[in-house]
Structure 1
Amino acid sequence: MLRKDQKTESHRSPVAIRLIPVCIFGWIVMSGFIPQGNQVVDQMLVSLGGCSALKIVQEMTNPDRSTTTVTDSITYQQDGTANRSRNGGQAIPLFSDDSMNRMELGAMLPWCRNRVSFNQWALRMGLQLEKCALWRFEGKPVWILGASKSDDPVTQLWVDVDSFLPVRLNVLSDGLQQPNGEIRFSDWKMIQGIHYPYSIQVSRQGFVLQDIRVQQIDAQPETGTKPADGQSGAVQPETPDAGYQPSEALKPVHQAIEELKQRVAAPSPSAPSN
């Protein structure tokens, strides 16, 4: 039978592990370190990974449960601009369609693979990078770009503190007749050197407007070298964190976070026997 002090000891590690996000969150707040929005964007683009072309086959489920399969092709120019075409149609400049609303544009965030395309997207979305805040999303710390607090009624981009991948986009409505919307990016995988979310969910007030699932993806490297087979279905996801390196400005934060994780997760020494 375990003694009382042994029972207490046996429960310490799980509690400590559950407190890791809280400790990290508190450490960053206490240290006063809040990066600039543009710093987070630069690191996010590094984590997303660059390419010269993307071809994505997606299945879109609508509110009436009907599904549509579309193929989007995006090519990136040397000056950072990009063109897109759908289902083999005419290519047009990325984000140039003025008829698209913010919810449609928001779901196109994963197509931003360089600073030029991201700036074009942010301008259309009304995302202001002067403000950046630290918050939590599903138990993990996130940077909120575009707001000084989570309930600001503005467009907000939520970026995971650890992976620097987008996880949530709060979309300010285009008009007074519509409530604000939300887009969630999840099931991130690394394919052919880039990260891409295999699940994108678009909703308003908890009602799902569109559920987007990636079926196939093909990424052409920035070097211009086409993958040997050119077939998305034959490519297996790589290690999720492969290729990610924190920028010089954020390395001290990552180092402190890792040290804190190790200290909190380390098992406590057993109580001496009587």
Structure 2
Amino acid sequence: MATDPRVPTRTRSLAPLRAVFSVAAMSMMLLCAALPERVGAYVLEGPHVLDLSAKAMGRIAALRVNQKLLVYPRTPEEAPTVFDETAIYVMPERFRSDIASERIQRTHLVFADSSLTVIDGRTAVGENRFDLYQRLLRSRSRPRLIRTLNQLGVETAISSLGRLDERVVFVLGARYPDESVSQLAIDKETFLPVRLLLVEGDAEAAGPSLEIFYDNWQKVQSGWFPFQVRFTVNGRLAREIRVADLRVNPSLPSALMDLEALKASVAANSADTPQGQKQEAVEAVQQAVEDFQKKFE
């Protein structure tokens, strides 16, 4: 068969090979887009991600937040119980939340690594896992983010790429899609935290998981703050926080954020109670504590 002298034989022989390489390259690009977690070479290291996240969240000195706390029942047919809650952030060490209703009076106060919860004038024993959401919001530097996450059981040296709903996220603490260990998901575009997963126990005997979703981030002076926080337990919506309004750098009495002052107040109220009424009061408060905690299980 005659060969067209106008087309070099070498060029014609390479054309099918180039087509194969083009198809292979396109397939690889599509695979990388569909499975970002597999492209380990492009994953930023955990401390670098947290550095960018801290810069994205920005600096906020103090906040007073008026918010609605919705506690959802186990049966979806029932309406949630709604509490008016005030939350105060004094970055980075202090946090206080107050619920005052006809059903219960509750104060939760945090200073550094110490905390105290008072329900109906009596100290409650043990920390409620639902109160942990604010730790991340107070951590706005890389060292503090690393410290906070390590305390919550997140291994910040591990990072991977994954998907959460329709967004690509950095996953710190796990190799996506592993959800058997505690981890934090950070939006790849905004570098804002979007989900904190807390798992009790180890990978072989994992207990109930608590997911905390940080939604609707809004600009607050030189920083960002989520106006909605959702909590799910083993996939079930258990509670939700909706910010009604907030005030930046409010004037706060010093005793309001003082852990020792709150302890002294509890002790004084207990001392003022007549001896004959103390046992009944303790039993009533204990029942109130148990009823309140059951709402969050």
TM-score by length of 1: 0.62
Match of 2:221 among 167, 170, 192: 192
Q: Residue 132 of structure 1 corresponds to which residue in structure 2?
A: 159
1:172 is aligned to 2:213:
no
Corresponding residue of 1:216: 245
Change (3 A) 1:157 1:181: same
* Residue in structure 1 matched with residue 132 of structure 2 by the alignment: 105
Amino acid at match of 2:51: D
Q: Give the one of 174, 187, 211 matched to 1:147.
A: 174
Aligned to 2:48: 39
Distance in 1 between residues matched to 2:57 and 2:30, nearest whole Å: 23
Asked whether 1:69 is paired with 2:84, we answer yes
Amino acid at match of 1:189: Q
Q: Distance in 1 between matches of 2:108 and 2:200?
A: 29
Question: 1: distance between equivalents of 2:206 and 2:167?
Answer: 33
Deviations 1:33-69 (A, max 9, x none): 2111111111001111112212222211012411112
Superposition CA RMSD, Å: 3.2
Cα deviation, residue 189, structure 1: 1.1
Instruction: State the distance in 2 between where 1:135 and 1:194 align.
Output: 26
Q: Deviations over 1:58-86 (max 9, x none)?
A: 2110124111121121223xxxx511223
Q: Deviations over 1:206-260 (max 9, x none)?
A: 211111111112334xxxxx89xxxxxxxxxxxxxxxxxxxxxxxxxxxxxxxxx
Letter matched to residue 171 of structure 1: L
TM superposition shift of 1:26: 6.4
Could you tell me which runs of 5 or more consecutive residues in structure 2 were left unpaired when the two chains were aligned.
Answer: 1-28, 74-79, 100-106, 117-125, 252-297
**Structure 1 counterpart of 2:95, one-letter code:** R
Partner of 2:60: 51
Secondary structure of the residue aligned to 1:212 is: strand
| 1:113 shift after superposition | 2.3
Structure 2 residue matching 1:97: 3-state secondary structure: strand
Question: Is the Cα contact below 8 Å between 2:187 and 2:194 reproduced in 1?
Answer: yes
Letter in 1 for 2:238: L
Change (3 A) 1:38 1:48: same
Secondary structure at the counterpart of residue 114 of structure 2? coil
State the one-letter code of the partner of 1:201: R
Q: Does the 8 Å CA contact 1:102/1:174 hold for their aligned counterparts?
A: no
Question: CA deviation digits over 1:137-170, x for unaligned, max 9?
Answer: 1122110000122224111100010000111121
Name the residue aligned to 1:96. 114
Q: TM-score, normalised by structure 2?
A: 0.58
Q: CA deviation at 1:174?
A: 6.0
The Cα of 1:101 is off from its aligned counterpart by: 4.2
Q: Name the CA shift for 1:21/1:49 in 2 (closer, same or farther; >3 Å).
A: farther
Per chain length, whose mean CA-contact separation is higher, i.e. which structure has more relative contact order (CA < 8 Å, sep 6+)? 1
1:171, CA displacement in angstroms?
1.2
Q: Which has the higher helix share?
A: 2
Would the aligned equivalents of 2:58 and 2:223 in 1 still touch at CA under 8 Å? yes
Aligned-residue offset at 1:31: 8.0
Any gaps of 5 or more consecutive residues in structure 1?
Answer: 1-19, 221-225, 228-274
Paired with 1:85 and 1:134, the residues of 2 have a C-alpha distance of 35
TM-fit CA distance, 1:199? 1.1
Give the Cα–Cα distance (whole angstroms) in 2 for the partners of residues 72 and 194 of structure 1.
17
Structure 2 CA distance for aligned equivalents of residues 134 and 46 of structure 1: 20
